[in-house]
């Protein structure tokens, strides 16, 4: 049974800051209490801007258990927001270069073979830009035709008019659809694959030093490094950088575990020039002292479902005997029907459900992972996940060995 845990969280390509993440955690803690019938409280936020860290403590308990957990955000939202400040023409040029690279190298077609819905996510922002540009061109043609202009006078009026409409559409509905953020996301992925993001490299080095310092301090049962969305690849990179500094840091003291959720690791690894990235993934796989589990959901379009991020091949079912352990969970089983109905047509809301509290008991729950008494090795491999360990009244129970060893039924 775990009594002290430290969770590090690496978010995806998102401008959300530490304060917003803390407020979300505090709100969701009440949902966690109701769902699992437990007591839980959270401390105030502590923010170290110089170290790009923010953290808070959470206490949770049931009739026969008590856990003290630190939830620490490894911050890189300032880098994301810095990307947003680039002028729109520069962002569009960089996006065009990135998309051409993904298409010419065949990476886009690998996305289609791996997960068709993810391929749609890949194409959505660039197709939105094309749609807005076509709308601007049509507007310019109709306007100049209605007025009866041609030649230079038509161009003098039509080009500015079409450009204005294009910019309006980029702001709305483009801002609501997060078109510019998604374009920047793919530019960032392209640059990271090609090793041209020294700002991200420097930040990951800092994260690795933070992880090592905590592992060396001791006094913990578990350290869990969580990577969500694009942050899943960065989390693996942090582990590799920590191993490069101290190859044995996870072989003594607290168990060191990696949880990837809503993950987009194949987004990088499927690129033919991502040899260095595939080597980092292999380094984590080959380190026996570090456990790695990935949870996948069919409803999460912005991730790879039924796909092995190491072999880069489709899989048919859960995999408990390899690395990473791959488990499937259905978001509709985690939420009340009315909650799921509010989310089902919102791609991003579904994408973020894996880092929020469930309002129904299910095999996976982010908050029970962070604040509960069940060890990472136990709940990630148990047939029914957390359902095998927590009774209706919040009591911790040890499942029979035969249950833990049983194969999980297909979801």
Residues 63 and 100 in one domain: no
Q: Are 314 and 114 in contact (CB under 8 A)?
A: yes
Tokens representing residue 21 in the block: 């993440």
Q: How far apart are CA 404 and CA 386, in angstroms?
A: 11
Same domain, yes or no, for 220 and 342? Answer: yes
Last residue of a domain, one of 154, 171, 190: 190
Statement: the pTM of the whole predicted model exceeds 0.75: yes
Question: Cis peptide before 360, with omega less than 30 degrees from 0?
Answer: no
Shared domain check, 206 and 179 = no
57-84 b/e (C-beta count within 10 Å ≥ 16 → b): ebebbbeebebbbbbbbbbbbebbeebe
Same domain for 272 and 367, yes or no, is: yes
Which neighbouring-strand residues pair with 328? 296
User: Residue 398: pLDDT above 90?
Assistant: no
User: For 183-231, what is each residue's pLDDT tens digit?
Assistant: 999 999 999 999 999 999 999 999 999 999 999 999 999 999 999 999 9
Judged by DSSP in three states, 138 sits in: helix
Q: Exposed, middle or buried, 319 (CB in 10 Å: 0-12/13-18/19+)?
A: middle
Instruction: Give backbone dihedrals phi and psi of 9, rounded to 5 degrees, phi first.
Output: -120, 125
Is the separation of the CB atoms in 122 and 110 below 8 Å?
no
Please compute Rg for the chain using Cα positions.
23
Do 325 and 362 fall within a single domain? yes
- 43 with 123, same domain: the answer is no
The answer on 322 and 206 residing in a single domain is: yes
> Is residue 411 in some structural domain?
no
pLDDT of residue 401: 54
Are residues 360 and 240 part of one domain?
A: yes
Which pLDDT tens digit goes with each residue over 227-265?
A: 999 999 999 999 999 999 999 999 999 999 999 999 999
Instruction: Please choose, from the candidates 93, 83, 88, 53, the residue with its C-alpha nearest in 3D space to the C-alpha of residue 71.
Output: 53
Confidence of residue 404 (pLDDT cuts 50, 70, 90): very low
For residue 24, name the pLDDT band (cuts at 50, 70, 90): very high
233 and 310 fall within a common domain: yes
Residue 410 lies in a domain: no
Total domains in the chain come to 2
Residue range(s) defining the domain that contains residue 363 = 4-78+199-405
First to last CA, the chain: 28
Tens digit of pLDDT for each residue in 66-88? Answer: 999 999 999 999 999 999 999 99
Please check whether residue 305 is in contact with residue 350, taking contact to mean a CB–CB distance below 8 angstroms: no
Record the tokens describing residue 357, joined without a space: 């509290």
255 and 360 fall within a common domain: yes
Using an 8 Å Cβ cutoff, are 158 and 143 in contact?
yes
* CA 154 – CA 392 distance, rounded (Å): 72
Mean pLDDT over residues 153-162, rounded? Answer: 96
The pLDDT score that the predictor gives to residue 92 is 97
- In a domain, residue 244? The reply is yes
**Same structural domain for residues 103 and 172?**
yes
- Give 400 or 355, the one with higher predicted confidence: 355
The residue length of the chain stands at 411
CA atoms of 124 and 8, how far apart (whole Å): 31
Q: What beta strand segments (E) does 276-376 contain? A: 290-296, 307-308, 313-314, 325-328
- 82-128: per-residue pLDDT in tens? 999 999 999 999 999 999 999 999 999 999 999 999 999 999 999 99
Q: Is residue 309 part of a domain?
A: yes
Domain identity same for 59 and 35: yes
What 3 state SS string does 182-236 have? HHHHHHHHHHHHCCCCHHHHHHHHHHHHHHHHHHHHCCCCEEEEEEECCHHHHHH
Instruction: Quickly tell me which residue has 């995999």 as its tokens.
Output: 319
């Amino acid at each position: 049974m775990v009594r002290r845990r430290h969770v590090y969280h690496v978010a995806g390509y998102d401008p959300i800051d530490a304060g917003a993440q803390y407020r979300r955690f505090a709100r969701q803690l009440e949902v966690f209490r109701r769902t699992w019938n437990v007591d839980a409280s959270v401390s105030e936020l502590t923010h170290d801007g110089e170290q790009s860290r923010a953290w808070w403590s959470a206490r949770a308990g049931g009739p026969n258990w008590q856990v003290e957990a630190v939830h620490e955000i490894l911050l890189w939202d300032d880098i994301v927001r810095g990307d947003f400040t680039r002028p729109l023409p520069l962002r569009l040029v960089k996006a065009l270069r990135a998309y051409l690279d993904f298409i010419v190298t065949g990476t886009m077609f690998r996305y289609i073979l791996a997960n068709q819905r993810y391929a749609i996510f890949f194409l959505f922002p660039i197709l939105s830009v094309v749609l807005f540009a076509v709308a601007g061109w049509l507007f310019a043609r109709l306007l100049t035709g209605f007025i009866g202009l041609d030649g230079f006078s038509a161009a003098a009026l039509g080009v500015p008019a079409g450009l204005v409409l294009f910019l309006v559409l980029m702001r709305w509905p483009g801002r609501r659809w997060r078109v510019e953020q998604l374009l920047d996301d793919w530019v960032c992925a392209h640059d990271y694959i090609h090793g041209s993001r020294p700002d991200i490299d420097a930040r990951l080095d800092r994260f690795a030093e933070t992880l090592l310092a905590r592992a060396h301090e001791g006094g913990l049962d578990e350290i869990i490094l969580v990577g969500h969305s694009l942050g899943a690849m960065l989390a693996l990179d942090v582990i590799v950088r920590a191993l490069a500094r101290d190859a044995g840091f996870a072989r003594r003291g607290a168990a060191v575990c990696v949880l990837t959720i809503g993950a987009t690791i194949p987004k990088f690894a499927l690129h033919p020039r991502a040899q260095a990235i595939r080597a980092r993934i292999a380094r984590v796989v080959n380190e026996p002292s570090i456990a790695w589990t990935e949870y996948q959901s069919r409803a999460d379009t912005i991730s790879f479902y039924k796909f092995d991020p190491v072999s880069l091949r489709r899989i048919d079912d859960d995999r408990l005997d390899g690395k990473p352990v791959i488990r499937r969970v259905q978001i509709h089983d985690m939420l009340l029907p009315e909650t799921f109905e509010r989310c089902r047509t919102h791609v991003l809301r579904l994408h973020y459900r894996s880092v929020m509290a469930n309002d129904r008991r299910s095999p996976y729950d982010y908050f029970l992972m962070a604040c509960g008494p069940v060890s990472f090795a136990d709940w990630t491999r148990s047939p029914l996940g957390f359902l095998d360990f927590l009774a209706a009244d919040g009591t911790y129970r040890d499942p029979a060995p035969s249950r833990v060893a049983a194969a999980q039924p297909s979801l």
